[in-house]
Amino acid sequence: MTKPEHAPGYVPNEAYSQEDWDEVSDNPELTDEQLAQLRPAKDVLPPALYEALVNRGGRPPAVIRKVPVTIRLDPHVVDAFKATGPGWQTRMNDALAKAATGLPRA
């Protein structure tokens, strides 16, 4: 039997070598007995550790949620905002908000 060039799932990159991958990728599958002994993390980890693992943070909820809309714009308008780079939609929203300040509220 010939050994494959790379372990299954290995993707060459700078973070780890083929040897690193081989060292951890040949774990045997769990037996039915081992699977039966597994318990939920909440039952076996200290509460503080479990909460730290479960609460992954992320962006806090927005005070004012954005409303998804469909709008038809001239291509040159969209291209001009896209040309300003990442965040162009936020900048477009800011420009629309600035233009809307003079409008009466509904």
Angle at 43 between CA 42 and CA 47, to 5 degrees: 55
pLDDT for the residue 84: 95
* pTM confidence score: 0.43
Answer with the residue of higher pLDDT: 18 or 88.
88
Query: Quick one: pLDDT at residue 41?
Result: 92
pLDDT digit string, tens, across residues 48-104: 999 888 877 788 888 888 899 999 999 999 999 999 999 999 999 989 988 988 766
- For the cut 60, the answer to whether the pLDDT of residue 105 exceeds it is no
- Alpha carbon distance 84, 6 (integer Å): 42
